[in-house]
Amino acid sequence: MKKTLYNLNQLVSVEIRDRKICLHLTYKPFKKSFWSITKEGFYEDYSDWRYTKEDIENGSYNKIKFIVEDNVVYYYPYVKLIFAGEVDMVREFKTYQEALGWGEKMSLEGMKKILEKDGVDYKIINN
């Protein structure tokens, strides 16, 4: 078991991103022509290597798991915590709402730690 603790006093910013289309994978339906047969699946640009929907969702493409909806491949929504120095942490979520909630919580907790260290009594208001 592994546990990693982060110093929220060093938190610089929190980026919350919604799912984004993967431009490297394109769906092609089954197609038969005089010269060749194209099997149904997802193809990487400039390659004939074919991936199934299950392959894409299970991480067979570059060890990254994706969301596949209506034959379009999406990256998962994620939260990126950027710390002072060169340490970043990325966490993926199933939905943007989950990412938004967790990212706002982390940002607020980090701000609380910074403000507590300051020694001044601030009132934190959620917008």
Instruction: With beta carbons less than 8 A apart as the criterion, state whether 10 and 85 touch.
Output: yes
Supply the pTM of this predicted model. Answer: 0.71
Identify the residue whose tokens are 């002072």. Answer: 84
Task: Tell me: pLDDT of 123 over 60.
Answer: no
Instruction: With beta carbons less than 8 A apart as the criterion, state whether 61 and 74 touch.
Output: no
Q: Dump pLDDT digits (tens) for 14-54.
A: 889 999 999 999 998 877 777 777 778 899 888 888 899 99
Q: Dump pLDDT digits (tens) for 79-112.
A: 888 888 777 888 889 999 999 888 888 777 766 6
Q: Dump pLDDT digits (tens) for 64-73.
A: 899 999 999 9
Q: How far apart are CA 30 and CA 103, in angstroms?
A: 41
